């Protein structure tokens, strides 16, 4: 009898040891798999960064100087702590020569011949296997091009921890769960031993012990479920990292909304202040200002509806008279021009053909240009708005709008970034960096083109070109805010 009990205890103890070993092995293998996925994702991300930086350098062409390349390299290197170095190579007489590198980069290492051959063929990105001396380094190369020919390469060297190092880092987060699981197994084993040792005289106590074992089993299942949820949360965390870019886009949309609504609100504020003084002096002028305020409030409502309509991505275009849109806008901006000592010169070509457009979007376009000109002329100046017709008729006719101011102008460096989102030269709090981005977007929505000319101290000129509607359109029967309704 004693031998049977000893054998049973030995068997149960062996089972416990095996279960604990299996549990620990499962934790190690799960953590190792997660670590391998993390390392693979880092490698793919390094390849994407190398390809994007090479494409950026290729797009800049001969205009890329060393400082610009160094800033781009520093930006890539600073994005992650695991990046050891970022280096830009230039192809000279069949050899790759270092042109620039990010700050604090590791010393340059010659490019292997096999990698050189791939880069010369324009293959990329190219992954160089780790060297025998340092298995933790991973080198990624991407070719740059000039006139569709290889002109150099971009190299990103990244450091990876070993899989077991990352595995043990994950194990630290789940070791406490393992200890609880082991404690529960030991507790269950203890109750099981007690049950074997009990005699028939202790059947009541055996029933209580069975209940306790059942409760411990339920608790163990809960802990295992928590362990599975923890592993799932680690996977979800990686997905959330990819969603951070979407949050930045949402922030840009909010800034875009504030920028569009802010302009008509400023116009309303100016006309309300002038309305107070005009009510007793000139009721007719006051009535005109009330109509302007009402029109701007309606435009704000349309802007809000457009921003909230998430399923609608295309601007609705209808035939409109661009001269009428410009006249109404200039009338509404009259108080702002007088307050800033700005002289407005309008030269609008008579009998200008209709164009397909949105009155609200075009009004926002020209408001942004006017606001930029006002900021560029703090001591007053002149704004000239001209409309002309390019072409002799038919489908080739295009409407040209020249918008010129006598402001401070821009340097070539500033001009190269004016259409970049969130780029601004204004003081903090005075500009969102979205004004000219909206201008470019509205022009694209209307199938137009935009050209900019500016010299420091000589002012700035914008030329906008839109397609004119064919002259054989139906007869105009009504018009509102520049938009017209047609009948056949």
pLDDT at 398 over 90: yes
> Do 377 and 430 fall within a single domain?
yes
**Could you tell me which of 371, 488, 385 has the C-alpha nearest to residue 436?**
371
> Do 171 and 241 fall within a single domain?
yes
Most confident of 32-41, 143-152, 425-434, 445-454: 445-454
Query: Are 264 and 300 contacting, i.e. CB atoms less than 8 angstroms apart?
Result: yes
- The tokens 């969102």 sit on which residue? 432
pLDDT at 479 over 70: no
DSSP 468: B
- Say which CATH number the domain at 85 has: 3.30.450.40
What's the confidence (pLDDT) of residue 224?
A: 84
Backbone angles phi, psi at 184, to 5 degrees: -65, -40
What does pLDDT average to over the chain? 78
> Do 150 and 226 fall within a single domain?
no
> Do 124 and 226 fall within a single domain?
no
Let me know if residue 54 belongs to a domain. Answer: no
342 bridge partner residues: 381
| Torsion-angle region of 346 (φ positive above 0: left; ψ -120 to 50: alpha; else: beta) | beta
What's the confidence (pLDDT) of residue 80?
A: 79
Query: Over pLDDT 70: what percentage of the chain?
Result: 72
What's the confidence (pLDDT) of residue 416?
A: 86
Cβ-defined contacts of 96-105 (< 8 Å, 24+): 96/152, 96/153, 99/66, 99/69, 99/152, 100/66, 100/69, 100/70, 100/73, 101/70, 101/73, 102/70, 102/73, 102/74, 102/76, 102/77, 102/78, 103/70, 103/74, 103/77, 104/77, 105/73, 105/77, 105/157
What's the confidence (pLDDT) of residue 369?
A: 93
Let me know if residue 47 belongs to a domain. Answer: no
> Do 328 and 473 fall within a single domain?
yes
- The tokens 């994950």 sit on which residue? 170
Let me know if residue 38 belongs to a domain. Answer: no
Query: Are 96 and 153 contacting, i.e. CB atoms less than 8 angstroms apart?
Result: yes
> Do 294 and 416 fall within a single domain?
no
**Could you tell me which of 102, 201, 79 has the C-alpha nearest to residue 155?**
102
pLDDT at 271 over 80: no
Q: Which of 111, 130, 161 is the last residue of a domain?
A: 161
> Do 301 and 388 fall within a single domain?
no
**Could you tell me which of 311, 416, 329 has the C-alpha nearest to residue 369?**
329
Distance CA 17, CA 30 (A): 20
What's the confidence (pLDDT) of residue 310?
A: 45
Let me know if residue 267 belongs to a domain. Answer: yes
What's the confidence (pLDDT) of residue 49?
A: 83
> Do 146 and 214 fall within a single domain?
no
Let me know if residue 183 belongs to a domain. Answer: yes
- Say which CATH number the domain at 397 has: 3.30.565.10
Query: Are 105 and 136 contacting, i.e. CB atoms less than 8 angstroms apart?
Result: no
208: three-class secondary structure by DSSP:
helix
Q: What is the arithmetic mean of pLDDT over 23-32? A: 72
- What pLDDT digit, counting tens, does each position of 59-93 carry? 887 777 878 888 888 888 888 788 888 888 888 88
What's the confidence (pLDDT) of residue 347?
A: 93
**Could you tell me which of 124, 114, 113 has the C-alpha nearest to residue 151?**
124
Task: Output Rg (C-alpha) for the chain, integer angstroms.
Answer: 36
- What pLDDT digit, counting tens, does each position of 408-442 carry? 999 899 888 888 776 677 765 556 667 788 898 89
- What pLDDT digit, counting tens, does each position of 315-372 carry? 678 899 999 999 999 998 888 899 889 999 999 998 899 999 999 899 999 999 999 8
What's the confidence (pLDDT) of residue 311?
A: 37
What's the confidence (pLDDT) of residue 449?
A: 94
| Tokens coding 200 | 């028939």
Distance CA 101, CA 84 (A): 11
**Could you tell me which of 464, 449, 457 has the C-alpha nearest to residue 385?**
464
What's the confidence (pLDDT) of residue 306?
A: 67
Q: Give the chain's end-to-end CA distance (angstroms, integer).
A: 109
Distance CA 213, CA 472 (A): 90
Q: Which of 143, 161, 179 is the last residue of a domain?
A: 161
> Do 128 and 14 fall within a single domain?
no
| Tokens coding 402 | 């020249």
Whether residue 163 is preceded by a cis peptide bond, meaning omega within 30 degrees of 0, is no
Let me know if residue 41 belongs to a domain. Answer: no
Query: C-alpha dihedral over 388, 393, 396, 397, to 10 degrees?
Result: 20
What's the confidence (pLDDT) of residue 487?
A: 47
C-alpha dihedral sign at 220, 222, 226, 229: positive
Q: What is the arithmetic mean of pLDDT over 299-327? A: 72
- The tokens 């047609």 sit on which residue? 486
> Do 328 and 464 fall within a single domain?
yes
Helix (H) or strand (E) holding 124: none
Let me know if residue 19 belongs to a domain. Answer: yes
What's the confidence (pLDDT) of residue 29?
A: 75
pLDDT at 476 over 50: no
What's the confidence (pLDDT) of residue 43?
A: 79
Q: How confident is the model at residue 477 (pLDDT cuts 50, 70, 90)?
A: very low
> Do 334 and 300 fall within a single domain?
no
pTM: 0.40
- What pLDDT digit, counting tens, does each position of 125-184 carry? 777 655 544 557 778 888 888 888 888 888 888 877 666 676 676 666 666 676 777 777
Residue 153: give the domain boundaries: 64-161
Let me know if residue 59 belongs to a domain. Answer: no
Q: What is the arithmetic mean of pLDDT over 386-411? A: 85
Q: What is the arithmetic mean of pLDDT over 210-232? A: 87
Q: How confident is the model at residue 391 (pLDDT cuts 50, 70, 90)?
A: confident
Among 33-37, 247-251, 374-378, where is mean pLDDT lowest?
247-251
What's the confidence (pLDDT) of residue 61?
A: 76
Query: Are 484 and 321 contacting, i.e. CB atoms less than 8 angstroms apart?
Result: yes
**Could you tell me which of 246, 234, 305 has the C-alpha nearest to residue 41?**
234
Q: How confident is the model at residue 110 (pLDDT cuts 50, 70, 90)?
A: confident
Query: Over pLDDT 90: what percentage of the chain?
Result: 17
Q: What is the arithmetic mean of pLDDT over 4-14? A: 67
Query: Are 152 and 144 contacting, i.e. CB atoms less than 8 angstroms apart?
Result: yes
Distance CA 145, CA 183 (A): 63
> Do 458 and 374 fall within a single domain?
yes
What's the domain count of the chain? 4
Contact residues for 294 (Cβ-Cβ < 8 A; gap 6+): none
Among 88-92, 204-208, 401-405, where is mean pLDDT lowest?
204-208
Distance CA 446, CA 360 (A): 12
Q: How confident is the model at residue 54 (pLDDT cuts 50, 70, 90)?
A: confident
């Amino acid at each position: 009898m004693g031998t049977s009990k000893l054998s049973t205890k030995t068997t149960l103890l062996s089972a416990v040891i095996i279960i604990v070993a299996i549990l620990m092995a499962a934790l190690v293998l799960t953590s190792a798999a997660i670590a391998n996925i993390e390392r693979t994702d880092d490698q793919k991300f390094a390849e994407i960064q190398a390809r994007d930086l090479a494409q950026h350098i290729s797009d800049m062409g001969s205009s890329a100087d060393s400082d610009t390349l160094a800033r781009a390299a520093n930006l890539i290197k600073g994005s992650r702590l695991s990046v050891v170095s970022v280096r830009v190579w230039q192809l000279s007489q069949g050899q790759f020569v270092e042109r620039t590198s990010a700050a604090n980069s590791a010393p340059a290492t010659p490019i292997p011949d096999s990698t050189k051959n791939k880069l010369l063929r324009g293959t990329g990105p190219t992954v160089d296997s780790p060297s025998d001396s340092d298995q933790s380094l991973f080198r990624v190369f991407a070719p740059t091009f000039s006139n569709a020919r290889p002109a150099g390469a971009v190299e990103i060297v990244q450091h990876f921890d070993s899989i077991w190092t990352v595995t043990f880092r994950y194990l630290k987060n789940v070791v406490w769960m393992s200890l609880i699981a082991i404690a529960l197994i030991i507790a269950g084993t203890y109750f099981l031993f007690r049950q074997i040792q009990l005699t028939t005289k202790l059947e009541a106590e055996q029933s209580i012990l069975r209940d306790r074992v059942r409760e411990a089993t339920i608790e163990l299942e809960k802990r295992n479920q928590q362990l599975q949820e923890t592993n799932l949360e680690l996977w979800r965390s990686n997905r959330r990292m990819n969603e951070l870019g979407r949050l930045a886009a949402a922030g840009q949309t909010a800034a875009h909304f504030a920028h569009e609504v802010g302009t008509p609100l400023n116009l309303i504020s100016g006309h309300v202040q002038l309305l107070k003084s005009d009510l007793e002096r000139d009721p007719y002028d006051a009535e005109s200002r009330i109509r302007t305020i009402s029109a701007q409030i309606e435009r704000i409502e349309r802007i809000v509806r457009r921003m909230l309509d998430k399923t609608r991505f295309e601007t609705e275009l209808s035939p409109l008279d661009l001269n009428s849109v410009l006249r109404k806008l200039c009338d509404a901006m009259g108080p702002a021009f007088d307050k800033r000592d700005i002289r407005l010169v309008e030269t609008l070509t008579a009998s200008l053909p209709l164009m397909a457009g949105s009155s609200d979007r075009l009004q926002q376009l020209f408001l942004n240009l006017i606001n930029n000109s006002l900021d560029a002329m703090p001591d007053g100046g002149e704004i000239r708005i001209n409309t002309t017709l390019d072409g002799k008729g038919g489908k080739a006719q295009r409407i040209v709008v020249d918008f010129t101011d006598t402001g401070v102008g821009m340097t070539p460096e500033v001009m190269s970034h004016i259409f970049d989102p969130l780029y601004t030269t204004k003081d903090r709090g005075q500009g969102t960096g979205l004004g000219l981005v909206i201008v470019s977007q509205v022009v694209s929505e209307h199938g137009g083109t935009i050209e900019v000319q500016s010299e420091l101290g000589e002012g700035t000129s914008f030329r906008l070109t839109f397609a004119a509607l064919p002259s054989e359109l139906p007869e105009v029967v009504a018009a509102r805010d520049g938009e017209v309704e047609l009948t056949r």
